Structure 1
Amino acid sequence: MKISIVGATGYTGAELLRILASHPAAEVLYITSESQPGTDINEVYPHLTRFYNKTLASLADLDKIAIESDVIFIGLPHGHAMEVGRKATAANPNIRIIDLGADYRFKNHDVYEQWYKVPHTHKEAQAVYGLTELNRSQVREAAIVGNPGCYTTASILALAPLVQHKLIDLTSIIVDAKSGVSGAGRSLSLGSHFTEVFESVKAYNVAGHRHTPEIEAVLGELAGEELVISFTPHLIPMPRGILSTCYARLKEGVSPEKVDEAYDSMYGSEYFIRLLGRGGYPATKNTRGTNFCDLGWHIDKRTGRVIAIAAIDNLVKGAAGQAIQNMNVMFKMEERTGLDNAPLYP
């Protein structure tokens, strides 16, 4: 497969390059950067030395890139992928697009515009939401995939069995999620400086994080009705990882065994979902550098609540790894190709 990456100098772009370096069916053709065109990628990311000998191109060459590529990964801030997708598909109608930003994640474009404050300029695109474990058959036939966000991947995977099997009160869902600093991106900002995050934990964007409507949309589709959640993200002083702890009130008469059965029936055959079972405690370190999502759940009989916990690597299952998982599905390849590695530990 001839692969190009538009926006290759962010953390997600670097992670795509790292994983694709060991993918047996992938040839990286073009990598682009509007901030550093003409720069060798090894100058930007020295850890990729010996794996790539490539110079960053410019989007001025997008038509050429699209014509020569089988698939383009887009790693740009929201609002920019739509025009890349439009122009790339016009240049090459057979191109596959996987967007790691938010532009193609929403079926309801009004919701996207409300939360992201930019107009959606590619509404005719028949994009598929790329949470592979839930939408595998649609991803297989898709021309454009909107890769999920990192918080959303962990939170949706934790809650999906409870919602689909109608085990919980949909008005009671609370998500408390924590992310490593790489989730803030590579651009300089005061909030992600070492002295600001080291030995500190803080909540941010309370009641207003942009992943909220994404979680609500996917869970609402599973439930067959609209729902509203409380979602609070936190920044943790570590480079990578997401831990999402999700709370909901169990419906009357729902036993712990029914909860167990819901997770087993939805994920029992999913390679990248590792079920730690009732009483399990997922930890971000156990998924570091991998495409795995570890899930555990607890029943609080005193309060009548279920607490579902998910751990992922935000740059892999929460971004680049899931994008490559989707690419494998789109090209009818073994889903684990290039992703079947053990976590880095300790």
Structure 2
Amino acid sequence: MIKVGVIGATGYVGIEIVRLLQNHPQAEVTVAVSQSFVGQKISDVYPSLRNICDIECQDLNMDAIYDKADVFITALPHGISKEVIPYLLEKGKRVIDHSGDFRYKSVEVYEKWYKLKHEMPELLNEAVYGLPELYRDQIKNARLVANPGCYPTCSILGIAPLLANDIIDTKNIIIDAVSGVSGAGRKTDLPYQFCECDENFKAYGVATHRHTSEIEQELSFIAGEEILISFTPHLAPIKRGMLCTTYANLKKDISTSELLDLYKKHYDGEFFVRVLGEGKLPEVKYVAGSNFIDIGLVVDKRLNRVIVLSALDNLMKGAAGQAVQDLNIMYGIPEQTGLSAPGLYL
């Protein structure tokens, strides 16, 4: 049995990891760290876990917790991992991190977009970007996996086959993305209060959202050239779920059905990537609560442009579910273990 420590266990991502691992046949949560709820049972913080997971929340005391788990999944804010991750690695532990601190290969790009000085640049070359559909082989033996952001996962997987096959013009890619409110985490900030979000729909971080740089990095690796995108995130009055709409100009005349065939070939064997048939488009309702990403597309013949839609659950394939998928890969377990449940639908 794999012993898993969750640091930041009472945030939305952390508690989703705890929940998922309750039904994992080969992994168990042996330590849960929460600065806000030290000494309380995690089932008192989230009563849905009563009689399922009743472990006590621990303080972030590295000397006291490091030997309680084989692998640690960290769900901490950006920029505060410097006192956690190097310590765990030195103790021979493996780490799956949810911050943006290890997703970049360039210190300069990270510091520009996050407005923070990177305290551990020596780990950037070692860290593996935790998107299994791109880096499965590297994830297998990694000590440090940087779990991707939710917007990047949804955007990258949506457009990757087009860039990998040199189908689109790389100079004018536009991505409009919509996320549920849980994507902001368990905050009490005014913009995320019920009366601010309900019956509202708004853009934020226009032309400045930090995930822009993460998406650009990975798309550039796929295309073999520098890619710049126009990325606009939006907040929708739903709890969980994400839909990305990507616009790109085609280099040649190609039909919707031909592109769908290309996508199906590209993602052949990928259990969690569902390429929809012609005339069908993704909806958040069909993926919420699951680790699946649904992808559909339409070719606009008038403009010789492809419009790709991709949908996932921002807490699942966009965060906690993908972390468990990475965990499975790291320990040689079938990827769908503990993750094959369908979406909630209702």
- Normalising by the residue count of structure 1, what TM-score does the alignment of the two structures yield? 0.97
Does structure 2 conserve the Cα–Cα contact (< 8 Å) formed by 1:256 and 1:299? yes
Aligned to 1:209: 209
Shift of 1:264: 1.6
Shift of 1:301: 0.3
Report the secondary structure of 2:214's partner residue.
helix
Aligned to 1:122: 120
Q: How far apart in 2 are the matches of 1:63 and 1:266?
A: 45
Q: Which amino acid aligns with 2:182?
A: S
Deviation string, structure 1 residues 290-328 (Cα, Å, up to 9, x no partner): 100000010000011100100101000000000000000
Aligned to 2:57: 56
1:39 correspondence with 2:37: no
Aligned to 1:182: 182
Report the secondary structure of 1:234's partner residue.
strand
Aligned to 1:147: 147
Shift of 1:34: 1.5
Aligned to 1:3: 4
Does structure 2 conserve the Cα–Cα contact (< 8 Å) formed by 1:82 and 1:103? no
Aligned to 1:195: 195
Q: How far apart in 1 are the matches of 2:263 and 2:192?
A: 36
Report the secondary structure of 1:3's partner residue.
strand
Q: How far apart in 2 are the matches of 1:207 and 1:279?
A: 31
User: Which 5+ residue runs of structure 2 have no aligned equivalent?
Assistant: none
Identity, % of aligned positions: 48
Q: How far apart in 2 are the matches of 1:232 and 1:259?
A: 25
Q: How far apart in 1 are the matches of 2:279 and 2:159?
A: 16
**Against the structure 1 CA distance between its residues 279 and 83, is the aligned structure 2 distance closer, same or farther, given a 3 Å change threshold?**
farther
> Which stretches of structure 1, 4 residues or longer, exceed 3 Å deviation after superposition?
253-258
Does structure 2 conserve the Cα–Cα contact (< 8 Å) formed by 1:167 and 1:254? no
Aligned to 1:100: 98
Q: How far apart in 1 are the matches of 2:322 and 2:150?
A: 10
Aligned to 2:300: 300
Q: How far apart in 2 are the matches of 1:252 and 1:121?
A: 46
User: 1:273-312 to 2 correspondence within 5 Å?
Assistant: 273-312=273-312
Q: Which amino acid aligns with 1:2?
A: K
Report the secondary structure of 2:113's partner residue.
helix
Shift of 1:51: 1.1
Task: Name the count of aligned residue pairs.
Answer: 343
Does structure 2 conserve the Cα–Cα contact (< 8 Å) formed by 1:247 and 1:306? yes
Does structure 1 conserve the Cα–Cα contact (< 8 Å) formed by 2:253 and 2:304? no
Aligned to 1:28: 29
Report the secondary structure of 1:340's partner residue.
coil
Deviation string, structure 1 residues 238-289 (Cα, Å, up to 9, x no partner): 1000000100000034444542233122112110011103332100110111
Report the secondary structure of 1:246's partner residue.
strand
Report the secondary structure of 1:316's partner residue.
coil
Report the secondary structure of 2:36's partner residue.
coil
Does structure 2 conserve the Cα–Cα contact (< 8 Å) formed by 1:66 and 1:89? no
Shift of 1:67: 2.7
Q: How far apart in 2 are the matches of 1:204 and 1:96?
A: 35
User: Which 5+ residue runs of structure 1 have no aligned equivalent?
Assistant: none
Q: Which amino acid aligns with 1:306?
A: V
User: 1:127-276 to 2 correspondence within 5 Å?
Assistant: 127-276=127-276
Q: How far apart in 2 are the matches of 1:270 and 1:112?
A: 30
Deviation string, structure 1 residues 103-129 (Cα, Å, up to 9, x no partner): 111111211111111121222221000
Does structure 1 conserve the Cα–Cα contact (< 8 Å) formed by 2:255 and 2:299? no
Q: How far apart in 1 are the matches of 2:129 and 2:174?
A: 23
